[in-house]
Structure 1
C-alpha cells in the first residue's frame, strides 16, 4: 500500500511538472514601448495555419434568392491550435485580389467631345479571374502575424470567389466586411464551401479587429466602420476614396482622376468584376446598365441621390472605430480632400483620430511604428497613451516619410485665412496682392486643351491662361488647410470647363524630386453649377456669374525666393473633357480673389512679401 501511494505521488509530481513546463512554454504577444514586438515563435512560416471559408452576409446582390457569401482567408500562428491562443485580427478586403480587366482598349469614356454631349459608347471587357485556394492575398501577413496578430483577407462582392455584385460604393460593400467581422465575433455563420453547410468557427479570435489598406482597399475599412459593427476597434485607411462624386466630379464638372482620363464609376465596375461568370449578366444589367448608367450623368456632372448614396460622409453616424488616416498631398488620383473630410467629421464626433500626410503621390501608409502603436492600443488594450499623441503628423519637404513632424492638428491651428486680390497683366503675368486695387478691369483667356497645365504655368506669354503672382518671398511661407476661390466670369459659350492651379514659381522642376513640386493645389468647377452642384443651367454668353469653391487641401512650406501664383484656365488636359478649342472665358479681376490658409496669418505674409 505504501509503495502504491509513493508511485501515485511521483506520477502526480511528473504530471504537475509536465503541466508547468507546458505552461512555461506557452507563447504570447510581447510588448515594449507601447508596441507589439516580433515574437520569434510566430515567425516560422512553415508553422502558420492557412485556411479559407465563406461567410454568409445579410444581402443578396446577385439575384439568386440566397444570401451572398464572401470568400475569406485566414493566416494564424500554430499556437492558436496547439496552445488555445486567442489573438486579435488585422483584416484587409479588396476587389482586386482575383485580378482586373486592366486597361483594355476602349474601356475608358472618350473625352474628346463638346460639353453637354452624350459621349459615344465604350467597351465592356471581361475580367479573367485568377487566384488559388486557400490564399486570397499575402498582404499584411509578414508585418503583423509575427507581432501577434491573425491576418484575414476577403474578396469584396462580385469579385474572386465571393458571391454578389460589385456596386462601387453601394451598401453591400459596407455590409460584406461587417459580416466578416460579425463572424470573427461569433455573430455570423462561416462555411467550408461556397454552397455547403459545414460550419467554421473563429475560436481563435478575440473579436478585436483592425482594418487597413490602400486606395479601394482603404475605402473598405471606412465602409465597414460606417456600419457601427461591434468588434471593429480601429481603422487605418491609406488614400481612401470616401466619395465617388468627389472622385469623378468636381463642383458639377465631369473630371477624371489623375492618370485615368475618361474613367468613371461604371469603368471601375468593369475593371473589378471578376466574380462568378454565370452571374455576371445579372449584375451587368442591374448594376452597371441600369443603376449606374441611368444616374452617373456624364452630360451635366450634377450631384444626385445616386452619388449621395456613395458618399461615406453621409453614413458616419454609427461609426465608433478609432481612425488613423493617411494620405499624400500630391495624390492627384484620390485627392487628399477624401481623407480630410472624413477626418474632420470623425473628430467632430469625438472619435479617437490622428492624421498622417506626406508630400508624395498615391498611397503611402504611416510609419510602421505609428500603425503598431495604434493597433496595439485599440486591439490589445495596451495603455501606450497613443490617444494623447499629437493629432497631425506631416512629412515636411525633403524629409524622410518615416520622420513626420508632429503638429497639434490639421489644418495647423495657427493658420488664418488671408485674401489675395488680382491685378492685371495678361497675356503675360498679373499680380497677387493683400491689398485690393480698384478698376483692374477684365481679362480673357481662350480655351485650348492641347496645352497641358504644366506648359501653361511655364509659358511667359500665352492667351490660353491667366496667371497672377505675388512678389518674391523674402522668407519661407507655411500654408496649411484649404484655399477658397471667389471668381466672377463670363463664357462665350453656354458651357465651359474651369480649372485653377495654385503654383510655386518660378518653375523649378525637381526641387523635391517630383514634377508636382510646383503645384501647391488645384481645383475644378462647372460655371453652369454656380448656384449649387445639384443644379446646372446653360450660361448666357457674355453674362457674368459668381462662383465660390474650395481647392484641394494642402500643407506646404513655400521657400523664400519663390512666388505664389494663381493660374486660371479652362480645359485641363489630364483631368477634364476636351471640347473644341476656342471657348473664351472672361474674368472680372475686381470680382475675383483667393483666400489662402497662412500659418501666422496676415502678419506672416506681410513679412514674407
Structure 2
C-alpha cells in the first residue's frame, strides 16, 4: 500500500523531521498546525503557506465504466497538492477538487474547423474539416496549479483531475455523456475510501487518501464549472458543496435555442462535435475507437444540425433532467452579459434547486463569460459545508448581484432572484417601420402589419442604431424619467408570417441611444437577447414547416437579466431574422411579417406597471 508517490518529491522525510525539530523551543513541542476560523471563514495559516513544503503527487483512479471499448475500466489521472502536515502530523483536511478537459492542451482554433454558417435553413450542411490529433501538454505530477494559492493555505487539500479522454486519463470524451459525471464521482469515492487509486494507469500498486476527512467541495469555470454539477447529479456521498461558475448545464441550450441552430458568441459555426475534437488529448491508442463511436456514430448522426430539434441525444446532456439525486449545497455564479454560456444555464438550475430544497445561493455580475464569486463568499460556503463551521451562511440572502459600475467583489444582496418585487409588465407595439415605432404599456388597436427582409450581412448593433432600414423592426419606449430595474426573464409573443417554410427569428432588447464611446462595450446597450425557430412554435422536439404567408403565434423566453436602465435612456425591442453573430446565414431575402396587434413583450420590472408608467 503506497501512501505517497511523487515524480519530484517536494519534501523529503528528513526535511519533515528537520522542520519538526525546528518547531521545538525550550523542550516543548510546537502546537500542531490546524485550520483556523474567524468570523465564519477559514483563515490563512502560516504553517500551510509555504508552497516549497507542499506535497504533490499523482495517481490514477479507477472508474466504473469502460468508455473506450478496450475491455478494462477507465482510469482517471489525478494530482494532489496538500500541506506537509497531512504527512508529518497525520492531519486530515477536506478537499477542494477541480476537474477539466483542458489541462493537457486543446486542439486547433480557427473558423476553417467550424461548420460553415452559410447554410440554407432545413438543408444538410456542408461537411466540416477536422484537424489532427491534439498533442498533450504538461508535465507530471502537476496537472494544474489553479486554486492552490487560495485554498491550501486556508487548510484544504487541492485535487485536480483530467476528464475522460483528455491528458493522461483513459476513456473517450463525450461532451456531457454519463462518463463525464461518473469520472469525478470515482475520484470523490477514492477520496472517501470507496474506490481504488493506482500509481500507474495500468498497474496494481494502490494509493490511499488517508489525509482526507471525507468532505469534498468542487468549483471551476465554464466546462470546469459544468463538471461539479455533473458530479453532484450522481448523489455521490462526500461531495458536500459545489460552486459552479458559468456552467454549461445543457449542451442543447449551448448550441441550440428554441429549435434554432445557434452558436456561442465568438464561435460562429462551432458545434458539439468540434468541442469533442478540441478537447480530445487522451491516449492515442484508443482515439480511432472514440472518434468512430462517439463523434461519428453518436454525435454526427444525432445532433441534428438540419432542424435544431431537441431529442434524446440532447436530453442525455441536459443536467436539469438529472437533479433528483443531487444533495450538495450549491452556490451558482454567472454573468448577465455572458453570451458564450448564456445566463439561463445557471438560472434554470437555480430555480430547480430552490424547488428541490437544497441549500442554494446565486451570484451574478454584469460582465462577460466567467467571474467567480468574491473569495469571501466562496470561503464562507466551503467553511460551512466542508469544515462544518456553523457560520449561518445558509441564512444569508439568496441572491448577490454586482450592480452597474460596482466592483466585482462588492455585490449587492437581495432576498432572491428574480427580485421578489419584480412584476411582469406587458408592453405593446405601435407602427413606425422602416423607422422606429413605439413601445408602451397601452395597446394601440388596428396597427396592421410590418415587414422586414432578412440579411445576415448587417450585425445586430448596426441594425439597432440604424435610423431607417428594412432589415429590422424596432420599437422604443419614451425616454425614461427615472431609472428602471429589470429583474427576471422577459418573454416575447410574436404573431408572424414568413415568405419561406423556414426562417430565423432573433430578438434583442436594447438600451438607446447607443453608447459609441471608444471605450464602450456592445453589452453596455444590450439588455437581453433571444432566438427561436418558428417551426418549433408548438414543441422544441418537432419542427413543423411554415406555410408561406400564413400567420403563426410564437412565444419564447429571452435570456434572464437583472439590470438598472438609467434615466434618459429608452428601452428598445428589436425584431429581426438572422443574427450575424449567432445564427446560420441563409441567402438574404426572406420576408418576415409581424402582426403588431398580436405581438407583445412581457418585461419583469421591479415595482411593476405603476413604476414603469411613472418613468414614461
Structure 1 and Structure 2 fold alike (TM over 0.5): yes
1:296 aligns with 2:281: no
Report the equivalent of 1:517: 524
Post-superposition shift, 1:578? 0.3
Report the equivalent of 2:333: 326
Report the equivalent of 2:36: 30
**1:233–1:321 Cα contact (<8 Å) kept:** yes
Report the equivalent of 2:350: 343
Report the equivalent of 2:382: 375
**Cα deviation 1:460-479 (Å, max 9, x = unaligned):** 00000000001110000000
Report the equivalent of 2:86: 80
1:386 aligns with 2:393: yes
**Cα deviation 1:204-223 (Å, max 9, x = unaligned):** 00010000000000000000
CA distance in 2, matches of 1:379, 1:290: 42
Select 1:547's aligned residue among 554, 569, 575. Answer: 554
Q: Superposed, which structure 2 residues align to 1:453-468 within 5 Å?
A: 453-468=460-475
1:395 aligns with 2:388: no
Post-superposition shift, 1:192? 0.4
Post-superposition shift, 1:19? 12
Select 2:51's aligned residue among 45, 67, 70. Answer: 45
Report the equivalent of 1:575: 582
3-state SS of 1:502 partner: strand
1:227 aligns with 2:230: no
Please give the TM-score of this superposition, normalised by the length of structure 2: 0.95
Report the equivalent of 1:564: 571
Select 2:123's aligned residue among 114, 117, 121. Answer: 117
Report the equivalent of 2:261: 254
CA distance in 2, matches of 1:97, 1:108: 22
CA distance in 2, matches of 1:114, 1:381: 57
**Cα deviation 1:70-129 (Å, max 9, x = unaligned):** 000000000001000000000000000000003045220001121112111112222111
3-state SS of 1:106 partner: helix
**Aligned in 2, Cα 1:447/1:108: closer, same or farther, shift over 3 Å?**
same
CA distance in 1, matches of 2:490, 2:108: 36
**Cα deviation 1:455-497 (Å, max 9, x = unaligned):** 0000000000000001110000000000000000000011100
Q: Superposed, which structure 2 residues align to 1:170-189 within 5 Å?
A: 170-189=177-196
Post-superposition shift, 1:22? 6.8
1:71 aligns with 2:77: yes
Count of residue pairs brought into register by the alignment: 593
Structure 2: any 5+ residue segments left out of the alignment?
Answer: 1-22
Q: Which 4+ runs in 1 deviate beyond 3 A? A: 17-24, 509-513
1:282 aligns with 2:289: yes
**1:108–1:261 Cα contact (<8 Å) kept:** yes
CA distance in 1, matches of 2:267, 2:567: 35
CA distance in 1, matches of 2:262, 2:333: 23
Select 2:510's aligned residue among 503, 506, 518. Answer: 503
CA distance in 1, matches of 2:189, 2:347: 29
**Aligned in 2, Cα 1:268/1:599: closer, same or farther, shift over 3 Å?**
same
CA distance in 1, matches of 2:332, 2:44: 24
CA distance in 2, matches of 1:123, 1:205: 46
**Aligned in 2, Cα 1:446/1:361: closer, same or farther, shift over 3 Å?**
same
CA distance in 1, matches of 2:289, 2:586: 35
Select 2:103's aligned residue among 93, 97, 107. Answer: 97
Report the equivalent of 1:480: 487
Report the equivalent of 1:530: 537
3-state SS of 1:595 partner: strand
Post-superposition shift, 1:39? 0.6
Post-superposition shift, 1:131? 1.2
**1:486–1:549 Cα contact (<8 Å) kept:** yes
Please give the TM-score of this superposition, normalised by the length of structure 1: 0.96
Post-superposition shift, 1:508? 1.5
CA distance in 1, matches of 2:574, 2:222: 29
Q: CA RMSD in A?
A: 1.4
CA distance in 2, matches of 1:340, 1:226: 17
3-state SS of 1:431 partner: strand
**Aligned in 2, Cα 1:21/1:369: closer, same or farther, shift over 3 Å?**
farther
Structure 1: any 5+ residue segments left out of the alignment?
Answer: 1-16
3-state SS of 2:58 partner: strand
**1:218–1:239 Cα contact (<8 Å) kept:** yes
Post-superposition shift, 1:509? 3.7
3-state SS of 2:113 partner: coil
3-state SS of 2:177 partner: coil
Report the equivalent of 1:238: 245
Task: Kindly name which structure, 1 or 2, has the bigger radius of gyration based on alpha carbons.
Answer: 1
CA distance in 1, matches of 2:111, 2:499: 35
3-state SS of 1:547 partner: strand
3-state SS of 1:120 partner: coil
Post-superposition shift, 1:24? 4.0
**Aligned in 2, Cα 1:536/1:207: closer, same or farther, shift over 3 Å?**
same
**2:62–2:196 Cα contact (<8 Å) kept:** yes
Report the equivalent of 2:17: none
**2:111–2:269 Cα contact (<8 Å) kept:** no
1:264 aligns with 2:271: yes
Report the equivalent of 2:66: 60
Report the equivalent of 2:171: 164
**Cα deviation 1:173-229 (Å, max 9, x = unaligned):** 000000000000000000000000000000100010000000000000000000000
1:108 aligns with 2:114: yes
